[in-house]
Amino acid sequence: MPRERLQPGSVVDGFTVLELAHRGGMARLFAVSHPDHDEPLLMKVPEIGGGADPALIVGFEMEQMILPRLSGPHVPRFVANGDFSRQPYIVFERLPGKSLYHRLDDLPLDPAEVAQLGARISTGLADLHRQHIVHLDLKPSNIMFRESGQAVLIDYGLARHLQLPDLMDEEFRLPYGTAPYMAPEQVLGVRSDCRSDLFALGVLMYFFATGKRPFGDPRRLNGLKRRLWRDPPPPRALRPEISPAFQEVILRCLEVNPARRYPTAAQLAMDLQDLARVPLTARAEKQRRDGWAEVLKRRFNPDPIELLKPQAAQGAQDAAPIIMAAIDLSAQAELGEELRLTLQRVLENTPNARIACFNVLKINRLRLDEEEDESGTNLHVARLVQLKHWAGPLRSREGALTFHVIEAVSAADAILEFARENFVNHIVMGARANSAMRSLLGSVSGAVAAKAPCTVTVVRPGRAISKIAAQGETDERPAV
Protein backbone atom coordinates (compact mmCIF):
# COMPACT_ATOMS: atom_id res chain seq x y z
CA MET A 1 0.00 0.00 0.00
CA PRO A 2 1.20 3.55 -0.62
CA ARG A 3 2.95 5.11 2.36
CA GLU A 4 2.60 8.70 1.20
CA ARG A 5 0.07 10.61 -0.80
CA LEU A 6 1.27 11.55 -4.27
CA GLN A 7 1.61 15.22 -5.06
CA PRO A 8 3.33 17.37 -7.70
CA GLY A 9 7.05 16.69 -7.59
CA SER A 10 6.73 13.11 -6.32
CA VAL A 11 8.78 10.56 -8.28
CA VAL A 12 7.52 7.00 -8.68
CA ASP A 13 9.61 4.46 -10.61
CA GLY A 14 11.11 7.25 -12.72
CA PHE A 15 7.77 8.98 -13.38
CA THR A 16 7.60 12.56 -12.12
CA VAL A 17 4.18 13.75 -10.98
CA LEU A 18 3.34 17.09 -12.62
CA GLU A 19 -0.21 17.93 -11.59
CA LEU A 20 -3.57 16.45 -10.64
CA ALA A 21 -5.49 16.11 -13.92
CA HIS A 22 -8.73 14.60 -12.62
CA ARG A 23 -10.20 13.23 -9.44
CA GLY A 24 -13.00 10.69 -9.54
CA GLY A 25 -14.75 8.60 -6.94
CA MET A 26 -12.49 5.59 -7.51
CA ALA A 27 -9.14 7.01 -8.65
CA ARG A 28 -7.03 10.09 -9.24
CA LEU A 29 -5.34 10.87 -12.53
CA PHE A 30 -2.00 12.68 -12.51
CA ALA A 31 -0.13 14.15 -15.44
CA VAL A 32 3.37 12.63 -15.31
CA SER A 33 6.58 12.73 -17.30
CA HIS A 34 9.40 10.26 -17.86
CA PRO A 35 12.78 10.75 -19.55
CA ASP A 36 12.15 7.78 -21.85
CA HIS A 37 8.76 9.00 -23.07
CA ASP A 38 8.17 12.21 -25.02
CA GLU A 39 4.38 12.04 -25.33
CA PRO A 40 1.95 13.29 -22.62
CA LEU A 41 1.22 10.62 -20.00
CA LEU A 42 -1.33 10.01 -17.27
CA MET A 43 -0.87 7.99 -14.08
CA LYS A 44 -4.00 6.43 -12.63
CA VAL A 45 -3.83 5.86 -8.87
CA PRO A 46 -6.68 4.13 -6.99
CA GLU A 47 -8.31 5.67 -3.92
CA ILE A 48 -7.70 2.83 -1.48
CA GLY A 49 -8.06 4.38 1.96
CA GLY A 50 -9.42 2.56 4.97
CA GLY A 51 -13.05 2.69 3.83
CA ALA A 52 -12.44 1.79 0.21
CA ASP A 53 -14.86 -0.58 -1.52
CA PRO A 54 -13.09 -3.93 -2.01
CA ALA A 55 -14.53 -4.02 -5.54
CA LEU A 56 -12.48 -0.91 -6.32
CA ILE A 57 -9.27 -2.76 -5.47
CA VAL A 58 -10.26 -5.84 -7.45
CA GLY A 59 -11.33 -3.68 -10.39
CA PHE A 60 -7.96 -1.94 -10.40
CA GLU A 61 -6.23 -5.33 -10.39
CA MET A 62 -8.33 -6.34 -13.39
CA GLU A 63 -7.43 -3.14 -15.22
CA GLN A 64 -3.75 -3.78 -14.55
CA MET A 65 -4.18 -7.25 -16.08
CA ILE A 66 -6.23 -6.12 -19.07
CA LEU A 67 -4.71 -2.87 -20.33
CA PRO A 68 -1.24 -4.30 -21.17
CA ARG A 69 -2.95 -6.90 -23.37
CA LEU A 70 -4.76 -4.33 -25.52
CA SER A 71 -3.48 -2.60 -28.62
CA GLY A 72 -4.71 -0.47 -31.48
CA PRO A 73 -6.14 3.03 -31.92
CA HIS A 74 -9.32 2.42 -29.93
CA VAL A 75 -7.60 1.96 -26.54
CA PRO A 76 -5.14 4.17 -24.65
CA ARG A 77 -1.55 3.02 -25.15
CA PHE A 78 -0.30 1.24 -22.03
CA VAL A 79 3.09 2.31 -20.59
CA ALA A 80 3.64 0.86 -17.09
CA ASN A 81 2.08 -0.72 -13.98
CA GLY A 82 2.94 -0.27 -10.32
CA ASP A 83 2.66 -3.10 -7.80
CA PHE A 84 0.23 -3.00 -4.88
CA SER A 85 3.04 -3.86 -2.47
CA ARG A 86 4.56 -0.40 -3.04
CA GLN A 87 2.46 2.04 -5.08
CA PRO A 88 -0.35 0.76 -7.32
CA TYR A 89 -0.66 2.74 -10.54
CA ILE A 90 -1.20 2.48 -14.27
CA VAL A 91 0.54 4.81 -16.70
CA PHE A 92 -0.89 5.28 -20.19
CA GLU A 93 -1.00 7.88 -22.95
CA ARG A 94 -2.83 11.12 -22.28
CA LEU A 95 -5.44 11.67 -24.95
CA PRO A 96 -6.21 15.18 -26.18
CA GLY A 97 -9.59 16.78 -25.60
CA LYS A 98 -12.44 15.79 -23.31
CA SER A 99 -14.69 12.79 -22.95
CA LEU A 100 -18.16 12.52 -24.46
CA TYR A 101 -19.54 13.37 -21.01
CA HIS A 102 -18.99 17.05 -21.76
CA ARG A 103 -21.63 16.90 -24.52
CA LEU A 104 -24.44 16.21 -22.03
CA ASP A 105 -25.23 19.91 -21.71
CA ASP A 106 -25.89 20.00 -25.49
CA LEU A 107 -28.52 17.23 -25.54
CA PRO A 108 -30.47 16.35 -27.51
CA LEU A 109 -28.08 16.29 -30.46
CA ASP A 110 -28.97 16.10 -34.12
CA PRO A 111 -29.89 12.45 -34.84
CA ALA A 112 -27.47 12.32 -37.77
CA GLU A 113 -24.63 13.33 -35.46
CA VAL A 114 -25.67 10.73 -32.91
CA ALA A 115 -25.67 8.01 -35.59
CA GLN A 116 -22.20 9.10 -36.66
CA LEU A 117 -20.98 9.00 -33.06
CA GLY A 118 -22.55 5.56 -32.66
CA ALA A 119 -20.77 4.30 -35.78
CA ARG A 120 -17.39 5.41 -34.43
CA ILE A 121 -18.04 3.95 -30.98
CA SER A 122 -19.29 0.62 -32.34
CA THR A 123 -16.19 0.42 -34.53
CA GLY A 124 -14.12 0.79 -31.37
CA LEU A 125 -16.20 -1.89 -29.65
CA ALA A 126 -15.68 -4.25 -32.58
CA ASP A 127 -11.92 -3.86 -32.17
CA LEU A 128 -12.19 -4.42 -28.42
CA HIS A 129 -14.35 -7.52 -28.78
CA ARG A 130 -11.90 -9.04 -31.24
CA GLN A 131 -9.32 -8.74 -28.47
CA HIS A 132 -11.61 -10.81 -26.17
CA ILE A 133 -12.73 -7.84 -24.02
CA VAL A 134 -16.25 -7.01 -22.86
CA HIS A 135 -16.11 -3.43 -21.57
CA LEU A 136 -19.23 -3.56 -19.34
CA ASP A 137 -19.07 0.14 -18.41
CA LEU A 138 -19.66 1.96 -21.68
CA LYS A 139 -20.90 5.47 -20.94
CA PRO A 140 -20.12 9.02 -22.09
CA SER A 141 -17.32 9.61 -19.56
CA ASN A 142 -15.51 6.49 -20.77
CA ILE A 143 -15.44 7.53 -24.44
CA MET A 144 -12.88 9.88 -25.95
CA PHE A 145 -11.79 10.61 -29.51
CA ARG A 146 -8.45 10.91 -31.21
CA GLU A 147 -7.74 13.89 -33.45
CA SER A 148 -8.32 11.48 -36.36
CA GLY A 149 -11.90 10.98 -35.11
CA GLN A 150 -11.43 7.39 -33.89
CA ALA A 151 -13.24 6.54 -30.67
CA VAL A 152 -11.06 5.52 -27.73
CA LEU A 153 -12.66 3.45 -24.96
CA ILE A 154 -11.15 4.05 -21.53
CA ASP A 155 -11.47 2.71 -17.96
CA TYR A 156 -11.34 -1.09 -17.76
CA GLY A 157 -12.02 -1.46 -14.04
CA LEU A 158 -15.26 -3.35 -14.66
CA ALA A 159 -14.22 -5.05 -17.90
CA ARG A 160 -14.03 -8.78 -18.52
CA HIS A 161 -11.21 -10.44 -20.46
CA LEU A 162 -12.64 -13.69 -21.75
CA GLN A 163 -9.27 -15.45 -21.59
CA LEU A 164 -8.44 -14.39 -18.03
CA PRO A 165 -9.98 -15.21 -14.65
CA ASP A 166 -12.84 -12.84 -13.82
CA LEU A 167 -11.96 -11.69 -10.30
CA MET A 168 -15.05 -9.47 -10.11
CA ASP A 169 -17.35 -12.42 -10.78
CA GLU A 170 -15.43 -14.73 -8.46
CA GLU A 171 -15.37 -12.38 -5.48
CA PHE A 172 -18.67 -10.46 -5.65
CA ARG A 173 -22.31 -11.37 -6.16
CA LEU A 174 -23.87 -7.96 -6.77
CA PRO A 175 -23.92 -6.64 -10.35
CA TYR A 176 -21.45 -3.84 -11.00
CA GLY A 177 -21.83 -1.15 -13.63
CA THR A 178 -23.35 2.27 -14.28
CA ALA A 179 -27.10 1.95 -13.68
CA PRO A 180 -28.57 3.70 -16.75
CA TYR A 181 -26.37 1.71 -19.17
CA MET A 182 -26.40 -1.81 -17.72
CA ALA A 183 -27.77 -4.57 -19.95
CA PRO A 184 -30.48 -6.88 -18.55
CA GLU A 185 -28.13 -9.85 -18.41
CA GLN A 186 -25.53 -7.69 -16.66
CA VAL A 187 -28.15 -6.82 -14.02
CA LEU A 188 -28.57 -10.57 -13.52
CA GLY A 189 -24.83 -10.97 -12.94
CA VAL A 190 -23.69 -12.17 -16.38
CA ARG A 191 -20.36 -10.58 -17.41
CA SER A 192 -19.32 -12.57 -20.46
CA ASP A 193 -21.53 -11.43 -23.34
CA CYS A 194 -20.14 -8.88 -25.82
CA ARG A 195 -23.71 -7.91 -26.74
CA SER A 196 -24.00 -6.23 -23.32
CA ASP A 197 -21.84 -3.43 -24.72
CA LEU A 198 -24.24 -3.04 -27.65
CA PHE A 199 -27.12 -2.53 -25.20
CA ALA A 200 -25.12 0.20 -23.44
CA LEU A 201 -24.43 1.88 -26.77
CA GLY A 202 -28.14 1.71 -27.58
CA VAL A 203 -28.86 3.50 -24.28
CA LEU A 204 -26.26 6.15 -25.12
CA MET A 205 -27.67 6.77 -28.62
CA TYR A 206 -31.24 6.95 -27.24
CA PHE A 207 -30.11 9.45 -24.59
CA PHE A 208 -28.11 11.61 -26.98
CA ALA A 209 -30.86 11.66 -29.62
CA THR A 210 -33.81 12.33 -27.27
CA GLY A 211 -32.27 13.96 -24.20
CA LYS A 212 -33.97 11.30 -22.03
CA ARG A 213 -32.50 8.12 -20.54
CA PRO A 214 -34.57 5.13 -21.72
CA PHE A 215 -34.58 3.45 -18.28
CA GLY A 216 -33.97 6.44 -16.02
CA ASP A 217 -31.22 6.28 -13.40
CA PRO A 218 -32.37 3.66 -10.85
CA ARG A 219 -30.51 3.41 -7.54
CA ARG A 220 -31.74 0.01 -6.36
CA LEU A 221 -31.69 -3.49 -7.79
CA ASN A 222 -35.49 -3.57 -8.16
CA GLY A 223 -35.32 -0.48 -10.32
CA LEU A 224 -32.53 -1.98 -12.42
CA LYS A 225 -34.56 -5.11 -13.05
CA ARG A 226 -37.49 -3.15 -14.51
CA ARG A 227 -35.66 -3.05 -17.85
CA LEU A 228 -36.16 -6.81 -18.12
CA TRP A 229 -39.88 -6.33 -18.61
CA ARG A 230 -40.72 -2.62 -19.12
CA ASP A 231 -39.81 -1.18 -22.51
CA PRO A 232 -38.87 2.51 -22.93
CA PRO A 233 -40.92 5.01 -24.97
CA PRO A 234 -39.92 4.70 -28.64
CA PRO A 235 -37.36 7.40 -29.56
CA ARG A 236 -39.59 8.83 -32.31
CA ALA A 237 -42.40 9.34 -29.78
CA LEU A 238 -40.09 11.74 -27.96
CA ARG A 239 -38.48 13.29 -31.01
CA PRO A 240 -40.26 12.80 -34.35
CA GLU A 241 -37.27 13.94 -36.43
CA ILE A 242 -35.49 10.67 -35.58
CA SER A 243 -35.76 8.51 -38.68
CA PRO A 244 -37.52 5.12 -38.66
CA ALA A 245 -34.22 3.48 -39.60
CA PHE A 246 -32.38 5.04 -36.66
CA GLN A 247 -35.18 4.00 -34.29
CA GLU A 248 -34.89 0.49 -35.72
CA VAL A 249 -31.19 0.42 -34.86
CA ILE A 250 -31.60 1.87 -31.36
CA LEU A 251 -34.47 -0.42 -30.35
CA ARG A 252 -32.67 -3.46 -31.72
CA CYS A 253 -29.72 -2.61 -29.47
CA LEU A 254 -32.13 -2.32 -26.51
CA GLU A 255 -33.73 -5.74 -26.89
CA VAL A 256 -33.96 -7.56 -23.55
CA ASN A 257 -32.84 -10.84 -25.08
CA PRO A 258 -29.24 -10.46 -26.38
CA ALA A 259 -30.08 -12.89 -29.19
CA ARG A 260 -32.39 -10.24 -30.70
CA ARG A 261 -29.72 -7.54 -30.68
CA TYR A 262 -27.02 -7.17 -33.30
CA PRO A 263 -24.79 -10.23 -33.11
CA THR A 264 -21.61 -8.13 -33.37
CA ALA A 265 -20.50 -4.53 -33.02
CA ALA A 266 -19.12 -4.67 -36.56
CA GLN A 267 -22.60 -5.36 -37.98
CA LEU A 268 -24.01 -2.51 -35.90
CA ALA A 269 -21.31 -0.17 -37.24
CA MET A 270 -22.23 -1.07 -40.81
CA ASP A 271 -25.87 -0.12 -40.28
CA LEU A 272 -25.01 3.14 -38.52
CA GLN A 273 -22.69 4.16 -41.35
CA ASP A 274 -25.54 3.90 -43.85
CA LEU A 275 -28.99 4.06 -42.27
CA ALA A 276 -30.62 4.13 -45.71
CA ARG A 277 -29.82 0.43 -46.08
CA VAL A 278 -31.19 -0.71 -42.71
CA PRO A 279 -33.98 -3.32 -43.13
CA LEU A 280 -37.04 -2.03 -41.25
CA THR A 281 -39.25 -4.10 -38.96
CA ALA A 282 -42.11 -3.24 -36.61
CA ARG A 283 -39.54 -1.53 -34.35
CA ALA A 284 -39.12 1.27 -36.89
CA GLU A 285 -42.77 2.38 -36.78
CA LYS A 286 -43.42 1.86 -33.09
CA GLN A 287 -45.07 4.96 -31.58
CA ARG A 288 -45.87 3.94 -28.01
CA ARG A 289 -44.72 1.63 -25.25
CA ASP A 290 -46.08 -1.90 -25.09
CA GLY A 291 -49.49 -2.35 -23.45
CA TRP A 292 -49.83 -3.68 -19.94
CA ALA A 293 -50.92 -7.12 -21.13
CA GLU A 294 -47.59 -7.57 -22.90
CA VAL A 295 -45.67 -6.03 -20.00
CA LEU A 296 -47.29 -8.35 -17.44
CA LYS A 297 -46.58 -11.32 -19.67
CA ARG A 298 -42.88 -10.42 -19.75
CA ARG A 299 -42.92 -9.67 -16.03
CA PHE A 300 -44.35 -13.01 -14.90
CA ASN A 301 -43.62 -15.28 -17.86
CA PRO A 302 -40.44 -13.89 -19.45
CA ASP A 303 -38.80 -15.36 -22.50
CA PRO A 304 -35.53 -17.11 -21.62
CA ILE A 305 -32.53 -14.86 -22.17
CA GLU A 306 -30.17 -16.52 -24.61
CA LEU A 307 -26.73 -15.96 -23.13
CA LEU A 308 -23.31 -16.87 -24.38
CA LYS A 309 -20.82 -18.69 -22.18
CA PRO A 310 -17.32 -17.15 -22.19
CA GLN A 311 -15.98 -19.65 -24.69
CA ALA A 312 -19.01 -19.20 -26.91
CA ALA A 313 -18.74 -15.43 -26.64
CA GLN A 314 -15.27 -15.58 -28.14
CA GLY A 315 -16.62 -17.62 -31.02
CA ALA A 316 -19.62 -15.34 -31.50
CA GLN A 317 -17.54 -12.96 -33.59
CA ASP A 318 -16.71 -15.84 -35.93
CA ALA A 319 -20.33 -17.04 -35.92
CA ALA A 320 -21.57 -13.66 -37.17
CA PRO A 321 -18.97 -12.60 -39.74
CA ILE A 322 -19.26 -9.86 -42.33
CA ILE A 323 -18.77 -11.45 -45.74
CA MET A 324 -18.04 -9.08 -48.60
CA ALA A 325 -19.20 -10.36 -51.98
CA ALA A 326 -17.37 -8.33 -54.62
CA ILE A 327 -19.55 -8.79 -57.69
CA ASP A 328 -18.67 -7.99 -61.28
CA LEU A 329 -22.06 -7.59 -62.95
CA SER A 330 -20.52 -7.78 -66.43
CA ALA A 331 -19.00 -11.22 -65.83
CA GLN A 332 -20.26 -14.25 -67.71
CA ALA A 333 -23.34 -16.05 -66.38
CA GLU A 334 -21.41 -19.16 -65.37
CA LEU A 335 -19.13 -17.22 -63.06
CA GLY A 336 -22.10 -15.38 -61.53
CA GLU A 337 -23.82 -18.68 -60.78
CA GLU A 338 -20.67 -20.12 -59.19
CA LEU A 339 -20.43 -17.04 -56.99
CA ARG A 340 -24.08 -17.31 -55.94
CA LEU A 341 -23.63 -20.97 -55.03
CA THR A 342 -20.64 -20.08 -52.88
CA LEU A 343 -22.58 -17.36 -51.08
CA GLN A 344 -25.57 -19.64 -50.58
CA ARG A 345 -23.31 -22.16 -48.85
CA VAL A 346 -22.03 -19.38 -46.58
CA LEU A 347 -25.59 -18.38 -45.66
CA GLU A 348 -26.58 -21.97 -44.93
CA ASN A 349 -23.48 -22.74 -42.85
CA THR A 350 -23.29 -19.40 -41.01
CA PRO A 351 -26.87 -18.26 -40.25
CA ASN A 352 -25.83 -14.98 -38.58
CA ALA A 353 -23.49 -13.87 -41.36
CA ARG A 354 -23.99 -10.50 -43.02
CA ILE A 355 -23.40 -10.62 -46.79
CA ALA A 356 -22.38 -7.20 -48.11
CA CYS A 357 -23.00 -7.38 -51.87
CA PHE A 358 -20.52 -4.91 -53.33
CA ASN A 359 -20.07 -3.48 -56.80
CA VAL A 360 -17.72 -0.83 -58.15
CA LEU A 361 -19.05 1.77 -60.57
CA LYS A 362 -15.81 2.76 -62.27
CA ILE A 363 -15.19 6.44 -62.92
CA ASN A 364 -12.56 8.13 -65.04
CA ARG A 365 -9.58 10.00 -63.65
CA LEU A 366 -9.51 12.78 -66.23
CA ARG A 367 -12.77 13.19 -68.14
CA LEU A 368 -16.25 13.91 -66.83
CA ASP A 369 -18.43 10.87 -66.26
CA GLU A 370 -21.95 10.41 -67.52
CA GLU A 371 -24.48 10.30 -64.68
CA GLU A 372 -27.37 8.63 -66.54
CA ASP A 373 -27.77 5.69 -68.86
CA GLU A 374 -29.50 5.83 -72.25
CA SER A 375 -32.95 5.60 -70.64
CA GLY A 376 -32.24 8.54 -68.32
CA THR A 377 -31.83 6.40 -65.18
CA ASN A 378 -29.17 7.46 -62.70
CA LEU A 379 -26.21 5.12 -63.21
CA HIS A 380 -25.70 4.57 -59.49
CA VAL A 381 -29.37 3.67 -59.01
CA ALA A 382 -29.36 1.44 -62.07
CA ARG A 383 -26.32 -0.43 -60.79
CA LEU A 384 -27.93 -0.87 -57.36
CA VAL A 385 -31.02 -2.34 -59.02
CA GLN A 386 -28.81 -4.71 -61.03
CA LEU A 387 -27.00 -5.79 -57.87
CA LYS A 388 -30.24 -6.59 -56.05
CA HIS A 389 -31.53 -8.47 -59.09
CA TRP A 390 -28.29 -10.48 -59.21
CA ALA A 391 -28.73 -11.47 -55.56
CA GLY A 392 -32.42 -12.28 -55.97
CA PRO A 393 -31.95 -16.09 -56.13
CA LEU A 394 -30.12 -16.13 -52.79
CA ARG A 395 -32.24 -17.49 -49.95
CA SER A 396 -31.50 -15.52 -46.80
CA ARG A 397 -33.02 -14.30 -43.55
CA GLU A 398 -34.28 -10.72 -43.32
CA GLY A 399 -31.41 -8.27 -43.11
CA ALA A 400 -28.71 -10.78 -44.04
CA LEU A 401 -28.04 -9.09 -47.39
CA THR A 402 -26.99 -5.48 -47.85
CA PHE A 403 -26.08 -3.76 -51.11
CA HIS A 404 -23.29 -1.29 -51.77
CA VAL A 405 -22.35 0.50 -55.01
CA ILE A 406 -19.14 2.50 -54.71
CA GLU A 407 -17.87 4.91 -57.34
CA ALA A 408 -14.10 4.57 -57.72
CA VAL A 409 -11.26 4.67 -60.21
CA SER A 410 -9.73 1.41 -58.99
CA ALA A 411 -11.94 -1.59 -58.23
CA ALA A 412 -9.23 -3.27 -56.15
CA ASP A 413 -8.63 -0.16 -54.05
CA ALA A 414 -12.36 0.30 -53.46
CA ILE A 415 -12.75 -3.32 -52.34
CA LEU A 416 -9.77 -3.06 -49.98
CA GLU A 417 -10.94 0.22 -48.45
CA PHE A 418 -14.45 -1.12 -47.81
CA ALA A 419 -13.02 -4.29 -46.23
CA ARG A 420 -10.75 -2.34 -43.91
CA GLU A 421 -13.32 0.28 -42.90
CA ASN A 422 -16.05 -2.27 -42.14
CA PHE A 423 -14.01 -5.01 -40.45
CA VAL A 424 -14.86 -7.51 -43.16
CA ASN A 425 -13.98 -11.06 -42.14
CA HIS A 426 -13.96 -12.66 -45.58
CA ILE A 427 -14.00 -11.44 -49.19
CA VAL A 428 -15.62 -13.62 -51.85
CA MET A 429 -15.07 -12.56 -55.45
CA GLY A 430 -14.99 -13.93 -58.97
CA ALA A 431 -12.03 -14.16 -61.34
CA ARG A 432 -12.43 -14.27 -65.09
CA ALA A 433 -10.64 -16.69 -67.34
CA ASN A 434 -7.01 -15.92 -68.20
CA SER A 435 -6.45 -13.48 -71.01
CA ALA A 436 -3.56 -11.53 -72.46
CA MET A 437 -4.95 -8.25 -71.06
CA ARG A 438 -5.40 -9.79 -67.63
CA SER A 439 -1.84 -11.11 -67.65
CA LEU A 440 -0.50 -7.73 -68.74
CA LEU A 441 -2.39 -5.51 -66.32
CA GLY A 442 -2.83 -7.92 -63.42
CA SER A 443 -6.11 -9.15 -61.98
CA VAL A 444 -8.32 -7.39 -59.49
CA SER A 445 -8.52 -10.60 -57.43
CA GLY A 446 -4.73 -10.86 -57.30
CA ALA A 447 -4.39 -7.25 -56.17
CA VAL A 448 -7.05 -7.72 -53.50
CA ALA A 449 -5.52 -10.97 -52.23
CA ALA A 450 -2.10 -9.37 -51.93
CA LYS A 451 -3.27 -6.61 -49.58
CA ALA A 452 -6.55 -7.72 -48.02
CA PRO A 453 -6.82 -7.63 -44.20
CA CYS A 454 -8.80 -10.88 -44.20
CA THR A 455 -9.29 -14.19 -46.00
CA VAL A 456 -10.08 -13.98 -49.73
CA THR A 457 -11.97 -16.66 -51.63
CA VAL A 458 -11.67 -16.48 -55.41
CA VAL A 459 -14.29 -18.25 -57.54
CA ARG A 460 -13.57 -19.26 -61.14
CA PRO A 461 -16.09 -20.53 -63.69
CA GLY A 462 -16.21 -24.31 -63.81
CA ARG A 463 -13.25 -24.73 -61.49
CA ALA A 464 -12.61 -25.43 -57.83
CA ILE A 465 -12.81 -22.49 -55.46
CA SER A 466 -9.50 -20.92 -54.57
CA LYS A 467 -9.01 -19.68 -51.04
CA ILE A 468 -6.32 -17.22 -50.06
CA ALA A 469 -5.48 -16.24 -46.51
CA ALA A 470 -4.40 -12.72 -47.31
CA GLN A 471 -0.93 -12.55 -45.83
CA GLY A 472 0.84 -11.04 -48.78
CA GLU A 473 0.27 -14.07 -51.04
CA THR A 474 -0.74 -13.38 -54.64
CA ASP A 475 -0.89 -16.89 -56.06
CA GLU A 476 -4.32 -18.43 -56.43
CA ARG A 477 -4.15 -22.08 -55.45
CA PRO A 478 -6.94 -24.66 -55.10
CA ALA A 479 -8.39 -24.95 -51.61
CA VAL A 480 -7.36 -28.05 -49.70
Low-confidence ranges of the chain (pLDDT < 70): 1-4, 49-52, 308-318, 365-377, 398, 432-442, 462-480
Q: Which pLDDT value is given to residue 243?
A: 98
Phi, psi of 240, deg, nearest 5: -60, -25
Q: Which pLDDT value is given to residue 367?
A: 44
Largest CA distance in the chain: 81
Among 220, 217, 280, which Cα is nearest to 250's? 280
Q: Which pLDDT value is given to residue 279?
A: 92
Percent helix, strand and coil across the chain, each rounded to 5?
A: 40, 20, 40
Among 432, 452, 456, which Cα is nearest to 442's? 432
Domains of the chain, first to last: 11-93 (3.30.200.20), 103-316 (1.10.510.10), 321-469 (3.40.50.620)
List Cβ neighbours of 385 (8 Å cut-off, separation of 6 or more). none
* Number of Cβ within a 10 Å radius of residue 424: 24
- How does strand 401-408 pair with strand 143-145? unpaired
Q: Which pLDDT value is given to residue 128?
A: 97
User: Residue 274 and residue 397: Cα distance in Å, rounded?
Assistant: 20
Grouping H, G, I as helix, E, B as strand and the rest as coil, residue 90 is: strand
State which amino acid sits at residue 251: L
**What would the 3-class secondary structure string for 219-261 be?**
CCHHHHHHHHCCCCCCHHHHCCCCCHHHHHHHHHHCCCCHHHC
Rg, C-alpha atoms of the chain: 25
